[in-house]
Amino acid sequence: MRERDKIIDFNFESYKKNIFSQSGEDGIIEEIFKRLNEVSDKRCCEFGACDGKFLSNTCNLITNHNYEAILIEPDKRRFDELNINFPDKKIIKINKFVNFSGENSLDNILENNNFNKDFDFLSIDIDGCDYWIFESLSKFTPKVICIEFNPLIPNKVDFIQEKKMKINQGSSAKSIIDLGLKKNYFPIASTDCNLFFVHNKFKQKITNLDKIDINQLLPNSNDNYIFCGYDGTVFTSKPLNLAWHGITVEEIKILPKILNIFPGNYNFFQKILLKFFKFFINLIKYLSKPRYYLRILLTSLFR
């Protein structure tokens, strides 16, 4: 077998190991940079970095592979712990929230700290707007990016959470992969909730694959189908898992019990009650999105 034929590892399953990371990321990162060793600049960046050690994707690089780093953590208490854990001045510690633009944009932070445009490794994990931070990166093209996705969203679903830092929903793997491909990044591996991308400029050193099959990259897709019966009962193909809350939902109730019947069998009272129920449901929609519905109303009036 030719050497090039060997470089086809997908999911990097056999390389997974944890030294500081959560789900095998440390081993994957080590293997990636073995393959990129000749072009490595030994620099990495991570945010939110927490205390620099807990579930870190960069601590192994810093501690055991002599990497310089920018570690960004907005929480003051955790930032104090980060300073204690990494007193070395070659580790730049920053107590800020990374934003999409302006002074605290990731581009600006990297530029102010004289990082190479194609530094080795960037870890994005902010429990929500990860997609938008990746999307905002324009001046820098790290060789490898690790980014969090929401593993409860099925592989085939496009979902991008709203561009607001106060929202914590996460985006789907498919949406993040599509964004990566647009930005010249090729997906090469995954763990439970992280995707790994390599910039196309360095792709041939990592893999000889030219196309991505998301189901090969993420074989454990959390496919769950929601459908309803004629009577309005809502079913799911398997229990709905609210993993971060530790709750499993067996059924979803939309209609009150008295209306949870096929409408063709409603009596007069139930028909009236349904009209009131639909009115209040629609009223809630109007109140929650007043500008949206006002725009629709004005458009229809002055068409």
Distance of CA 146 to the CA centre of its chain: 10
What would the two tokens of residue 275 be?
Answer: 């009209």
For the cut 80, the answer to whether the pLDDT of residue 176 exceeds it is yes
Burial 236-258 (b: 16+ CB within 10 A, else e): eeeeeeeeeeeeeeeeeeeeeee
pLDDT band at 10 (very low <50, low <70, confident <90, very high): low
DSSP code of residue 205: G
* pTM of the entire predicted model: 0.81
- Per-residue pLDDT tens over the stretch 224-269: 888 888 888 888 888 888 878 888 887 788 888 898 888 889 999 9
The whole-number pLDDT of residue 6 equals: 47
DSSP code of residue 252: B
Domains within the chain, CATH numbers bracketed: 3-217 (3.40.50.150)
Q: To the nearest 10°, the Cα dihedral for 166, 169, 175, 180?
A: 50
What is d(CA 129, CA 159) in angstroms, rounded to the nearest whole number?
12
**Out of 151-160, 172-181, 233-242, which region has the weakest mean confidence (pLDDT)?**
233-242
HSE-up of residue 233 (Cα within 13 Å, Cβ side): 9
CB within 8 A of 152, min separation 6: which ones? Answer: 222, 241, 243
| Best CA proximity match to 125, nearest among 63, 30, 57 | 57
- Per-residue pLDDT tens over the stretch 283-299: 666 666 655 555 555 45
For the cut 50, the answer to whether the pLDDT of residue 160 exceeds it is yes
Question: Quick check: bond before 48 cis, omega within 30?
Answer: yes
Q: State the average pLDDT over residues 59-70.
A: 94
pLDDT band at 127 (very low <50, low <70, confident <90, very high): confident
Q: To the nearest 10°, the Cα dihedral for 146, 182, 140, 121?
A: 20
3-class state of residue 137 by DSSP = coil
The whole-number pLDDT of residue 178 equals: 95
Amino acid (one-letter) located at 162: E
What is d(CA 122, CA 145) in angstroms, rounded to the nearest whole number?
5
What is d(CA 24, CA 35) in angstroms, rounded to the nearest whole number?
18
Amino acid (one-letter) located at 173: A
For the cut 60, the answer to whether the pLDDT of residue 1 exceeds it is no
Amino acid (one-letter) located at 276: F
